[in-house]
Chain A
Amino acid sequence: DTGVSQDPRHKITKRGQNVTFRCDPISEHNRLYWYRQTLGQGPEFLTYFQNEAQLEKSRLLSDRFSAERPKGSFSTLEIQRTEQGDSAMYLCASSLSLPTGSNRDTQYFGPGTRLTVL
């Protein structure tokens, strides 16, 4: 257990429905990342936050996806009008970014939320 938690662990939904996932990072970590992973592939970056600011979004993050990190603590990832192609494992990771860079922003992953869109 890395200290990063995600909820729910599994979600089954019908195409067209909206879903929301939550991630609670390690408490002292200032960065939070979202990745998506499909079978046989490595995680693909979606977006990341430093504190409450969303600093980068991947081109994979279509208009149907939105992420928030209010107050710089937990984060939510919402997918609107889900499609079958959204079926994947959604991974959250957190890191402590130091000005010195000495920790190399090592990312620790939560258990993931597995989404199945029927």
Chain B
Amino acid sequence: QKEVEQNSGPLSVPEGAIASLNCTYSDRGSQSFFWYRQYSGKSPELIMFIYSNGDKEDGRFTAQLNKASQYVSLLIRDSQPSDSATYLCAADNYGQNFVFGPGTRLSVLP
């Protein structure tokens, strides 16, 4: 059973701080990893994807991948109250579908 695990939170950070969200996956065959943001009652919105070891930056967001440790993370710099949402980590399943984690709730406090 392929699994993606995340700390459900809530993770609370003050406005302007760096929020660090973590994810581990069970299947070493997974090649691509995706971070989605989901506001309450809304559908997931893609933030970014990563498939190479190391860091990938997009604006205030940095995704990090360590395939040896089967670990993916998302850093959000200069966190804003509007970043308060649930962050979903997903791993591709041999190009057929995604396996999602349960999500981490982030709360950015003004």
Query: Interface on A for B, CB 8 Å cutoff?
Result: 2, 33, 35, 40-45, 48, 55-56, 89, 91, 97, 101, 104-112
Q: Taking the nearest CB of chain B, how far is it from the CB of A109, in angstroms?
A: 4
Complex Cα distance, B95 from A55, in Å, reads: 12
Given A55-B96, A106-B34, residue A43 in contact with residue B44 (CB < 8 A):
yes
Query: Interface on B for A, CB 8 Å cutoff?
Result: 4, 8, 31-32, 34, 36, 42-46, 49, 51, 88, 90, 92-93, 95-103
Chain A residues positioned under 8 Å from B31 (CB to CB): 104
Q: 8 extra interchain contacts, Cβ-Cβ under 8 A, other than A41-B103, A104-B51?
A: A33-B98, A42-B103, A45-B97, A91-B43, A101-B95, A104-B49, A106-B34, A112-B43
Q: Is A109 touching B98 in the complex (CB atoms < 8 A)?
A: no
Q: Is B97 touching A56 in the complex (CB atoms < 8 A)?
A: yes
Chain B residues positioned under 8 Å from A97 (CB to CB): 95
Residue A106 contacts which of B42, B46, B96, B100 (CB distance < 8 angstroms)? Answer: B46
Given A41-B102, A56-B97, residue A104 in contact with residue B44 (CB < 8 A):
no
A-B contact pairs, 25 of them (CB 8 A): A33-B97, A33-B98, A35-B100, A40-B8, A42-B90, A42-B101, A43-B88, A43-B100, A45-B93, A55-B96, A56-B96, A89-B43, A91-B44, A97-B95, A104-B31, A104-B49, A104-B51, A105-B92, A105-B95, A107-B34, A107-B98, A109-B43, A109-B44, A111-B43, A112-B42
Q: Taking the nearest CB of chain B, how far is it from the CB of A88, in angstroms?
A: 13
Q: Is A42 touching B96 in the complex (CB atoms < 8 A)?
A: no
Chain A residues positioned under 8 Å from B100 (CB to CB): 35, 42-44
* Across the A-B interface, the 6 shortest Cβ-Cβ residue pairs: A42-B100, A104-B32, A45-B97, A109-B43, A112-B43, A43-B100
Chain A residues positioned under 8 Å from B103 (CB to CB): 40-42
Complex Cα distance, B97 from A55, in Å, reads: 10
Q: Taking the nearest CB of chain A, how far is it from the CB of B42, in angstroms?
A: 7
Q: Taking the nearest CB of chain B, how far is it from the CB of A89, in angstroms?
A: 8
With a 10 A CB-CB cut-off, give which of B46, B93, B98 has the most chain A CB atoms: B98
Chain A residues positioned under 8 Å from B44 (CB to CB): 43, 91, 109
Complex Cα distance, B100 from A89, in Å, reads: 15
